[in-house]
Structures are given as structure tokens and as C-alpha cells.
């Protein structure tokens, strides 16, 4: 399939004005394909040639201005439209299209719980052509009018309000939107409908998930209404579409997609099992993020994919900030579980994603100068475009002030609504609202790569006073706070109190007087900028001994991130990080911090940064830490903390006895009871340890025959320490194309286990060729899964690195897989350096 280049898009945009798409879909023609008929009304400014994109199973007919075109001229995914004369045209295309099992195009899913079938579109980037013919680029906006024929008992959702007449569902015509934002979701949905401010709101999920959606309906609608109201307080432009539906759909590749009027979410957000308040907050943030896209991306859309940050960075920043504001606005009412400390969660969960991505060879500017084609653009939806971009915006607001920031945004919306914009447009609009040099800020923050490092130097002065100088490794300006913390002498020890928070603009050349030496000096206190921070020696000793005594969760998150960075950079021994976690995590109250520290300690330190000989001791330490947390929560006051501890206690179990007893009893002593998520989690660990078998997995699947149960069973079967089980799992992933995207991922997550390194050693060498082949056959979504989940990350040795480098050099993997392999191999080389066995 040919990808669209930037030059081709510019040439086509100069030629065409696209007015309206009239699309007819028939979803009753079989299990493998559906019918798609498209009428495109467009104009050409001058005489010229162009093409329309589509990827049909069968191209039945094409007519241009009433004259038939030869379907045989379809070349890959491009249908030439030659010899167009200046003026208005009509293109009619009649096709048969394939359903997808990989979450791309029109995905089809049959629920194993009740046999009901659901379909939905994910047309992002360049997958429109899998559903209907289109001039598929973001700056050729048009009105879309859809009609859908579906089975009698189905409901059809779309971007606009839908109704059924004479057996056909029709959607209200959209305003001008981009092709990738068109959406359809059809099936026997369970729906909850209401109104807010006169606008129809809806929640939709599979029927088998109805009880779980109903249980959370009040919370979901509370989040939606609160964010909706807060955006209307911030933005001058009102919500620009006629309804707001949120559909939780199966086997969704992303967290969610901002289709105007019909946001689609992965349906894991309809919780079947117990979750923590932090997980509820994450779901709320995704709701806030996608709603922000109604303005950032849908109302005003990027002109080309080099300005992804105008969509994702803004939605990420606005999601976290608006959720915080909406929570505070409702603090006098019913306590809300979904937004109590969003920036702590961002600091622990998202910023590390950005920091890691920005230190790999695949790093790129937040706003690249040019993105050559759609395949290259797809790779940039990463921690840089989301987390780093949002961090840069948070720094911009801290420097600029929120009033001027919002004034610039509202000017941007007014000038470009229902149209397209570039970085230059936005910066010009922002510059008009302030005397600050926003263009220089953009050059420093959005056009550069890498992470700055800030290191404090404290020098003694007269009469016991000190002065602070900040050394900056990097080139960006930073507006930060430096926290000065003293020991609270009125307690039994272990508590730190904030003396002062200094506000600094870097680069700082002069030393800043700070009075007497603090016990801890913390740069970037409040986490307002995007930079790695280091400690002076005395502050580091304070951190090691008294980290849990810091009063604010966000402050502790900054410290934990600094320790994480120090481990990754080879400046702090992994064992020292574990010792710090063992000392302070049992006293931690913030769930995001507990979850983030345990995840890094188990996934990276125990599984990659320590040698196989050191790993058992690390697992023992983590197991003891989790036992402490479980004991601490025996009174039931903090069920979220207990749930996190139980999950990680299962994951690091080195012996099966305790967790096998939990499974047999159906509960952890003192709670919680083992719901489906915990039962599959225990069974997966027992499979790794060789303490269960196929019969037990089949019995559990009979107990939980849901889609999630199928994924749990696939993971458990792949994790069994049996040569035949490994061979079967490998064949399922790489030898056939039967697995859906979710079942592929579940199988991959079970296959590689550090405890089974000898058993799977032969597959390490096979991985590269087989991953390249399956990526070629099945496309970007499976390529991403193969690179992310099926990579042998446990095999931290030079042979794995050498084989991977040879693959990149000789095998020509498709871009989606190449990017994942580049990142995985860089992480592998880092792990070797941390272990002390690699070369600098």
C-alpha cells in the first residue's frame, strides 16, 4: 500500500476543493466483507490529474461525472483520476471492503459471552481507504453524510445524530471535518442516554458489559459534564457538534479516538473487576483528553502530520489541567474519585514515557520541521508528542501566564474553526496575546530534541549561609521552582517541611542566596518543567533516608523520577533504588507513586537491569515490600493500595504456594476476593512457575468465557514452561494470521518469561525474521504489537543486540516494526550498560 507523501498532499490540496461525501455502507452482506458506495463532490481549481485512495476487496465500478472509469487502473491503493478539467465533479465508487481483525479500518468482533457481533471504524491516519474511497489527507475537509444498512436488532452510531427509516440508519450531515475523523459503530449496543445543556449525551458498550457500565454511569456522566462545562468556561467557541456519544468498543488499539460526536474508547475502561482510584482517574483523564480534541484537532485540525502536537500535546495538557480544575470545582459536593491529584499521576506515569522516548535514537522534536509521509507520521504518536509536548505547554503556561495563554488559544479557534492550521499559525496567534517572545520559546522547546539535565551546586558563604547555582546540561530556558526543605525538629524525625520555594528562570548565571543549608534542595519542585534533575550529595543522603517524609505527593513524584533517571543513566545502582523503595514505599500514600515505583522496580530493575543471578534477591525484596503494604491495609481503609500490593505480590511470586492458596480459596486473606482479573493474574503467574496446566486453564476459561477470559487463557497457555506449549504459541503468533490484535498481544505477553530463558532460547534468534514477516503480512497494528510485546526483552545479552542490529541493517522491516525495534534495542543496550556488561 503506497503511503501519502507530504509533497503529494500539498499538490492535491492546491488542486482540489472537496465539498461533500455521501457514503452508503451495507453491513449485512457477510462476516468477512461489507459493501461500500461513495459519492464524492469536489471541485478542481485548474486542469490536472490526481488520485483517490481506497483498498477494496473488490472494486465493482467507478464513474467520474457520469463516465465509467476502468477498475483495473486501481494501482495498489490509488485510483487515478486523470485529465480533470477546472470546475465541479462527481466521483462514484462502488466497492466490497474487508472487515478487520487488527483494529484498523472497520473492525469486526464477535463477543464470546453471548455471540453478538459488533463493528466499529478506526480511520486514523490512512485507514479511511479500508472503509470508503477518499481524498485522504487532513487538510481536505468536507461534509460527510452517512447511511448504514445493518441487522434489524443493531443500533448504528455515527458522528452526527442517527435515526432509522425504512431499515436504513441515517446520520445527520457533519460540519467540515477531516477524513480520518469519520466514525461508525454498529451493533446491539447497550446504551445510556441523557442530555446536558440541551445536547444529547450517550454511553454505549457491548450488551455483556451492561451491568458494569450501569454501575459506573453516574461517574462517567459526572466526569463528562464537569469537563464539558469547564471547557466552555475556558474556550470562547462552544462545542461545535450536534451530540456527544462515548462508545466503549472491543479490541481497540489506542486508549481512545477523538471522532467528533462519537468518541471511541477501549472497553477495558468499562471495569469488570476492582480498580484503584488512580485507574478511575486515568479513565477520567482520557475522557477529558478526548473532549479537548473536539476543539484541538476536530474544530481546528492540523494541516499536515508534522503538527501532531497541535492535537495531542494540547489534548494531553488540557486533559490533565481541566480534570484538576473540574475536580476542584466540585470539591464541595460528593467526593470525586477521578481527579484528586492528576499532575502527580502525569509526573509518574506519563513523563517517564516522554523522558525515555526522548533519549532514544528515534527521538524527534515535538514539532518536526517536516514529516515526509504518513508512515513516518504514524511513528510520532509517542511519548514525545504526548507527554513531552504537554510538559512543554505546562512550562509555557508557567512562563506566560494562563490568561495570555487562553487568549491566544481563543484567537486561534476563532481564526481557524472548521479549517486547518500550522505551528506558525498558532505561535502567531499566541504572540498576539503577550509581550513575551513566543517564537523564541517555540524554537527552543518545539524544534529541539533531548532532555536537559539540571544539577544544583550549593556553595557556603558567610555566617552559615549558602548560595545556589544551577548547572544546566542542555539549551532550553526553564521557569522552575526550587524547594528548600528542612527537618521538622518538633517530631520524632523523618518529616521534612518546606521552608521556601524559590522561583528561578534558567539559565541562571548568578548564585542565588538561600540562607542556611537545607536538608534537601529539590529542583523542579512542582514539576513545572521538562528536565531531569540531580541532587547535591547532602540532598541525596536526605532523599535516601527521609523521602517518605516529604509532604506533597507531587514533590515525592519528582524525587522518584529523579531516582529512576539516575538508575537508567548508570548513576545510581539498581540495588540502591530497590533499597530506597523498600524503605519508603510502605509509608507512601499516593497510589500513582506506589504503582509507578513497583512497576519500574519489577519490570525494569528485576527483569532487565539486574543479572539473572541477582534477580531472585530482587524479587524477594519486592515480595516483602508488597507483604508490608498488604499488612498495612488490613483495616480496609485503603483498598486501592491493597489492590496494588496484591497485584504486584502475585507478579513477583517466586514460589506458587501462597498465590495458589489464594486461587483455591477465591480470596486473599482479609480481602480482596479474587475477581476475574485477579484470578487470571494468579493463573498466569502459576503458569510461569509450572504450577498449573492446560486443564486448569480450560476450567478457568469455562468459568469466565468472556473476551477478557479468552485473552487470559491465551496468555496462560503461552506462559506454560512446556516446549509444545511454546511451539503452539509461536505458530499462533507468527505462523498464521488468525489471532486478533488483542489475542496476539495476550499470547506475546505470556511467551517470554525470565524464569524460562533456557526453554525459549532458540526463539530469540527466530524472532527477528518471523516478526519482519508477520509485520509485512498484517500491517502496522500487528507490527507494533510484535515489536512491543513479542520482543525478547528479558534476553539482555550482546547476542540479542547483535541479531537485532543485523535485522535493522539487512531485513528492511516496515516502518512501524523498525521504530519498535530501534527503541527496544536501545533499551537493551542501556540495560547492558546498567548491568555493567555492555560497552559505552
Distance from C-alpha of 277 to C-alpha of 95, rounded to nearest angstrom: 47
**Reported confidence tier of residue 489, pLDDT bands at 50, 70, 90:** confident
Q: Cα angle vertex 120, ends 814, 681, to 5°?
A: 75
pLDDT of residue 370: 85
Q: Cα angle vertex 58, ends 57, 62, to 5°?
A: 135
Q: Cα angle vertex 10, ends 5, 15, to 5°?
A: 125
DSSP-derived 3-state class of residue 331: coil
> For 797, what's the count of Cα atoms within 13 Å in the CB-facing half-sphere?
12
Contact between 180 and 148 under an 8 Å Cβ cutoff? The reply is: no
Percent of the chain that is helix, strand, coil (3-state, to 5): 45, 20, 30
Residues contacting residue 782 through CB under 8 Å, at least 6 positions apart = 102, 741, 744, 774, 775
DSSP conformational letter for 173: P
As its CATH architecture, domain 1-187 has Sandwich (2.60)
Report the share of the chain in percent with pLDDT over 90. Answer: 95
User: In the block, which residue shows the cell 477498475?
Assistant: 71
Distance from C-alpha of 60 to C-alpha of 58, rounded to nearest angstrom: 6
Least confident of 471-475, 509-513, 663-667: 509-513
DSSP string computed for 422-466: -HHHHHHHHHTT-SS-HHHHHHHHHS--S--EEEEEEEE-GGGEE
- Average pLDDT of the residues in 805-827: 98
Reported as a single tens digit per residue, the pLDDT across 241-299 is 999 999 999 999 999 999 999 999 999 999 999 999 999 999 999 999 999 999 999 99
Contact between 271 and 282 under an 8 Å Cβ cutoff? The reply is: no
Q: Is the pLDDT of residue 838 over 50?
A: no
Reported as a single tens digit per residue, the pLDDT across 623-651 is 999 999 999 999 888 999 999 999 999 99
For strands 244-249 and 199-205, give the pairing: parallel
The C-alpha cell of 530 is what?
Answer: 521538562
pLDDT of residue 493: 60
Residue 135 to residues 38, 40, 79: CA-CA distances in angstroms? Answer: 12, 9, 10
pLDDT of residue 337: 60
**Reported confidence tier of residue 339, pLDDT bands at 50, 70, 90:** low
Least confident of 90-104, 436-450, 496-510: 496-510
DSSP-derived 3-state class of residue 671: coil
pLDDT of residue 492: 62
Q: Is the pLDDT of residue 464 over 90?
A: no
Could you give the residue numbers annotated as active site? 290
- Average pLDDT of the residues in 399-418: 97
Q: Is the pLDDT of residue 731 over 70?
A: yes
On average, the pLDDT of the chain sits at: 96
Distance from C-alpha of 381 to C-alpha of 385, rounded to nearest angstrom: 6
Reported as a single tens digit per residue, the pLDDT across 151-189 is 999 999 999 999 999 889 999 999 999 999 999 999 999
Residue 404 to residues 233, 235, 343, 643, 703: CA-CA distances in angstroms? Answer: 15, 13, 22, 43, 57
**Reported confidence tier of residue 329, pLDDT bands at 50, 70, 90:** low
Contact between 41 and 88 under an 8 Å Cβ cutoff? The reply is: yes
pLDDT of residue 328: 66
Around Cβ 736, how many Cβ atoms within 10 Å? 9
Distance from C-alpha of 555 to C-alpha of 561, rounded to nearest angstrom: 10
- Average pLDDT of the residues in 583-594: 96
Reported as a single tens digit per residue, the pLDDT across 341-378 is 799 999 999 999 999 999 999 999 999 988 999 999 99
> For 426, what's the count of Cα atoms within 13 Å in the CB-facing half-sphere?
25
User: In the block, which residue shows the cell 457538534?
Assistant: 241
> For 579, what's the count of Cα atoms within 13 Å in the CB-facing half-sphere?
11
pLDDT of residue 334: 54
Q: Is the pLDDT of residue 44 over 60?
A: yes
Main-chain phi, psi angles of 249, to 5 degrees = -115, 155
Beta strands in 238-278 (DSSP E): 244-249, 256-257, 262-266
Q: Which of 281, 300, 524, 542 is nearest to 411 (CA)?
A: 300
Least confident of 77-86, 144-153, 216-225, 482-491: 482-491
Contact between 481 and 533 under an 8 Å Cβ cutoff? The reply is: no
Q: Which of 349, 283, 356, 353 is nearest to 319 (CA)?
A: 283
Reported as a single tens digit per residue, the pLDDT across 62-109 is 999 999 999 999 999 999 999 999 999 999 999 999 999 999 999 999
pLDDT of residue 390: 97
Contact between 316 and 386 under an 8 Å Cβ cutoff? The reply is: yes
Main-chain phi, psi angles of 374, to 5 degrees = -70, -35
Residues contacting residue 420 through CB under 8 Å, at least 6 positions apart = 138, 139, 141, 300, 301, 302, 303
Distance from C-alpha of 134 to C-alpha of 112, rounded to nearest angstrom: 34
Report the share of the chain in percent with pLDDT over 70. Answer: 97
Domain residues of the chain, as ranges? 1-187
Give the distance, in angstroms, between the CA of residue 82 and the centroid of all CA atoms in the same chain. Answer: 41
The predicted model scores a pTM of 0.97
pLDDT of residue 839: 43
Amino acid at each position: 500500500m503506497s503511503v501519502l507523501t507530504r509533497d503529494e498532499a500539498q499538490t492535491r490540496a492546491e488542486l482540489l476543493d472537496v465539498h461533500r461525501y455521501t457514503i452508503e455502507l451495507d453491513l449485512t452482506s457477510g462476516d468477512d466483507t461489507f459493501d461500500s458506495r461513495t459519492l464524492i463532490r469536489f471541485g478542481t481549481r485548474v486542469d490536472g490529474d490526481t488520485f483517490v485512495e481506497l483498498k477494496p476487496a473488490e472494486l465493482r465500478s467507478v464513474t467520474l461525472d457520469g463516465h465509467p472509469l476502468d477498475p483495473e487502473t486501481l494501482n495498489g491503493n490509488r485510483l487515478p483520476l486523470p485529465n480533470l478539467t477546472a470546475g465541479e465533479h462527481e466521483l462514484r465508487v462502488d466497492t466490497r471492503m474487508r472487515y478487520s481483525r487488527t483494529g484498523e479500518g472497520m473492525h469486526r468482533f464477535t463477543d464470546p459471552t453471548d455471540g453478538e457481533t459488533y463493528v466499529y471504524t478506526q480511520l486514523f491516519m490512512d485507514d479511511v481507504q479500508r472503509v470508503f474511497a477518499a481524498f485522504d489527507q487532513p487538510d481536505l475537509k468536507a461534509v460527510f453524510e452517512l447511511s448504514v444498512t445493518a441487522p434489524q436488532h443493531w443500533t448504528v452510531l455515527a458522528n452526527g445524530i442517527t435515526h432509522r427509516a425504512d431499515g436504513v440508519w441515517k446520520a445527520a450531515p457533519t460540519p467540515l471535518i477531516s477524513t480520518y475523523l469519520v466514525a461508525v459503530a454498529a451493533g446491539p449496543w447497550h446504551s445510556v442516554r441523557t442530555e446536558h445543556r440541551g445536547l444529547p449525551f450517550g454511553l454505549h458498550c457491548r450488551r455483556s458489559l451492561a451491568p458494569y457500565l450501569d454501575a459506573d454511569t453516574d461517574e462517567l456522566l459526572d466526569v463528562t459534564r464537569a469537563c464539558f462545562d469547564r471547557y466552555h468556561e475556558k474556550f470562547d467557541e462552544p462545542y461545535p457538534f450536534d451530540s456527544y456519544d462515548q462508545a466503549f468498543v472491543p479490541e481497540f488499539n489506542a486508549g481512545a479516538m477523538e471522532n467528533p460526536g462519537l468518541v471511541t474508547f477501549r472497553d477495558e475502561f468499562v471495569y469488570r473487576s476492582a480498580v484503584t482510584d488512580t485507574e478511575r482517574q486515568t479513565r477520567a483523564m482520557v475522557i477529558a483528553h478526548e473532549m479537548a480534541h473536539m476543539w484541538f484537532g476536530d474544530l481546528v485540525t492540523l494541516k499536515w502530520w508534522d503538527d501532531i502536537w497541535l492535537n495531542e500535546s494540547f489534548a494531553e495538557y488540557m486533559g490533565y489541567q481541566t480534570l484538576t480544575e473540574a475536580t476542584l470545582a466540585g470539591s464541595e459536593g460528593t467526593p470525586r474519585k477521578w481527579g484528586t491529584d492528576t499532575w502527580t499521576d502525569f509526573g509518574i506515569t506519563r513523563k517517564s514515557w516522554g523522558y525515555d522516548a526522548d533519549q532514544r535514537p528515534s527521538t524527534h522534536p515535538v514539532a518536526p520541521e517536516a514529516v515526509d509521509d504518513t508512515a513516518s507520521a504514524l511513528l510520532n504518536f509517542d511519548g514525545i508528542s504526548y507527554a513531552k509536548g504537554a510538559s512543554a505547554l505546562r512550562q509555557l503556561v508557567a512562563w506566560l501566564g494562563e490568561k495570555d495563554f487562553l487568549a491566544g488559544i481563543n484567537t486561534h479557534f476563532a481564526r481557524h474553526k472548521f479549517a486547518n492550521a500550522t505551528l506558525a499559525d498558532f505561535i502567531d496567534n499566541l504572540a498576539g496575546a503577550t509581550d513575551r517572545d513566543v517564537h523564541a520559546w517555540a524554537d527552543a522547546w518545539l524544534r529541539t530534541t533531548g532532555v536537559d539535565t539540571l544539577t544544583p551546586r550549593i556553595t557556603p558563604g558567610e555566617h552559615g549561609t549558602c548560595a545556589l547555582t544551577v548547572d544546566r546540561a542542555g539549551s532550553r530556558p526553564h521557569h522552575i521552582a526550587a524547594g528548600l526543605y528542612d527537618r521538622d525538629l518538633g517530631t520524632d524525625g523523618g518529616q521534612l517541611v518546606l521552608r521556601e520555594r524559590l522561583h528561578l528562570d534558567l539559565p541562571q548565571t548568578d548564585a542565588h542566596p538561600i540562607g542556611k543549608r537545607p536538608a534537601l534542595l529539590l529542583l523542579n519542585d512542582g514539576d513545572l518543567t521538562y528536565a531531569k534533575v540531580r541532587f547535591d550529595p547532602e540532598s541525596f543522603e536526605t532523599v535516601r533516608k527521609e523521602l517518605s517524609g516529604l509532604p506533597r505527593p507531587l514533590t515525592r513524584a519528582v524525587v522518584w523520577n529523579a531516582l529512576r533517571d539516575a538508575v537508567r543513566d548508570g548513576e545510581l545502582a539498581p540495588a540502591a533504588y530497590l533499597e530506597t523503595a523498600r524503605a519508603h514505599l510502605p509509608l507512601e500514600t499516593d497510589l500513582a507513586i506506589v504503582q509507578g515505583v513497583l512497576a519500574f522496580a519489577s519490570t525494569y530493575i528485576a527483569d532487565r537491569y539486574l543479572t539473572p543471578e541477582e534477580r531472585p534477591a530482587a524479587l524477594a525484596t519486592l515480595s516483602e515490600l508488597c507483604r508490608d503494604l498488604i499488612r498495612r491495609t488490613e483495616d480496609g481503609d485503603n483498598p486501592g493500595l491493597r489492590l496494588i500490593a496484591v497485584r504486584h505480590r502475585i507478579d513477583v511470586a517466586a514460589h506458587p504456594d501462597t498465590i495458589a492458596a489464594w486461587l483455591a480459596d477465591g480470596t486473599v486473606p482479609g480481602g480482596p476476593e479474587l475477581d476475574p482479573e485477579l484470578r487470571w493474574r494468579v493463573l498466569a503467574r502459576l503458569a510461569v512457575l509450572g504450577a498449573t496446566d492446560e486443564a486448569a486453564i480450560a476450567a478457568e476459561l469455562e468459568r469466565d468465557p468472556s473476551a477478557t477470559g479468552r485473552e487470559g487463557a491465551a496468555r496462560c497457555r503461552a506462559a506454560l514452561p512446556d516446549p509444545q506449549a511454546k511451539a503452539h504459541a509461536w505458530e499462533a503468533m507468527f505462523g498464521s494470521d488468525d489471532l486478533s490484535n488483542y489475542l496476539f498481544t495476550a499470547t506475546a505477553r505470556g511467551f517470554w518469561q525470565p524464569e524460562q530463558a533456557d526453554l525459549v532460547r532458540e526463539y530469540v534468534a527466530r524472532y527477528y525474521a518471523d516478526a519482519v514477516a508477520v509485520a509485512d503480512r498484517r500491517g502496522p497494528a500487528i507490527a507494533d504489537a510484535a515489536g512491543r510485546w513479542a520482543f525478547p526483552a528479558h534476553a539482555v545479552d550482546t547476542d540479542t543486540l547483535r541479531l537485532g542490529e543485523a535485522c535493522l541493517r539487512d531485513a528492511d522491516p516496515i516502518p512501524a516494526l523498525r521504530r519498535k525495534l530501534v527503541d527496544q534495542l536501545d533499551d537493551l543496550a542501556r540495560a547492558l550498560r546498567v548491568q555493567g556488561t555492555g560497552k559505552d
